[in-house]
A and B are shown apart, each in its own frame.
Chain A
């Protein structure tokens, strides 16, 4: 079975792009064989028919926060007790001061985990990405759909402003 290669098409309007996606779905092309790219988020207007796209970011933010907060508490309590120096009649590990550091640790953990998750889910950084045929049009606002399947119907990109012939990736 030869590699069908990628077929690209650029659309001016989201409705046209969605139309093309529906035609692809009717022809039996799976969502995993389609890639939709745009310069603004259009997830709800233009999405391949298939399972919902999920993001783990909120969950990872919470987990990262808990991790960061725990590290902060341990940092404060263990280091203060390792070399206890009384200051100002205060306890060695006062609750309010430990609370401040824990809060910041929580926030830092959540921030770093959020960004790490975003990068992981987006598969970034990827500096070896080859340029696509319609990148310039994409930058000006077009929606680009790329399909890699041997079930692509002939008229799927009828409303496209430009198409590129089938080529190998």
Chain B
């Protein structure tokens, strides 16, 4: 049974932010501008959290990219009054833009605060609208959005596999963030495939999850503790 998941190695992450930019480019995320960002309305689906560990002179910086955890028991899902978000059979927390009426209840119940809201319509002054990804919809104002594990790429890979009459192999689907990471800190794959790279990494002794005690059963694993 396919169950999409991701492993992020925070020992490798350099905090460069390429994943954030790649995600924005891949998913037609609007740029809200300096003033709106200052008012807490930035739209990044992925944020890099920076923490300092240790005391001078042995200070280390740890960067943790936080994105939608695609929880198996997602608190954001049952509170949506119109089923704009639910769990797909393949383990994704789906976001249905055309159904969302903008109550923003899901965002309040996400303990990871990974959901972002379209406060205004996005603007892509000419010729920037040409960079929009045709595989991804542009969301109007009043609609919630968040990381989708690049569902359009998953869909694309599944279509190609079906055409070739084969199963999806490990590494066939690369999310934008995984693809763009220079340190190869992000690995995406099928947690239901025992031979996949994500399963191997998720089972490592460096592996843990965010806010584990809340019982949300996220699909994202974080590696740390190694040198």
A: which residues have CB within 8 A of B? 85-90
Contact = CB atoms under 8 A, between A and B. Distances in A.
A89 B83 contact: no
Interface string B54-65: 000000000000
B80 A87 contact: yes
Contacts of A88: 73-79, 87
B107 to A, nearest CB: 15
B73 A89 contact: yes
A89 B86 contact: no
Interface in B72-99: 72-80, 83, 85-87
B47 interface: no
Chain B: number of interface residues, binned into ranges? 10 to 19
Interface of B is mostly: loop
B83 A85 contact: yes
B78 A90 contact: yes
Given A87-B85, A88-B75, A88-B76, 11 more contacts: A87-B74, A87-B77, A87-B80, A87-B83, A87-B87, A88-B73, A88-B74, A88-B77, A88-B87, A89-B73, A89-B217
Interface of B: 72-80, 83, 85-87, 217
A86 B87 CA distance: 6
Name the 4 nearest CB pairs between A and B, nearest first. Answer: A89-B73, A87-B77, A88-B78, A85-B86
Contacts of A89: 72-74, 87, 217
- Greatest chain B CB density within 10 A among A85, A86, A88 is at A88
A144 B154 CA distance: 82
Contacts of B78: 87-88, 90
A86 B86 contact: yes
B138 to A, nearest CB: 25
B95 to A, nearest CB: 13
A46 B12 CA distance: 92
18 contacts: A85-B83, A85-B86, A86-B77, A87-B77, A87-B78, A87-B83, A87-B85, A87-B87, A88-B74, A88-B75, A88-B76, A88-B77, A88-B87, A89-B72, A89-B73, A89-B74, A89-B87, A90-B78
Contacts of A85: 83, 86
Nearest to A86: B87
Contacts of B83: 85, 87
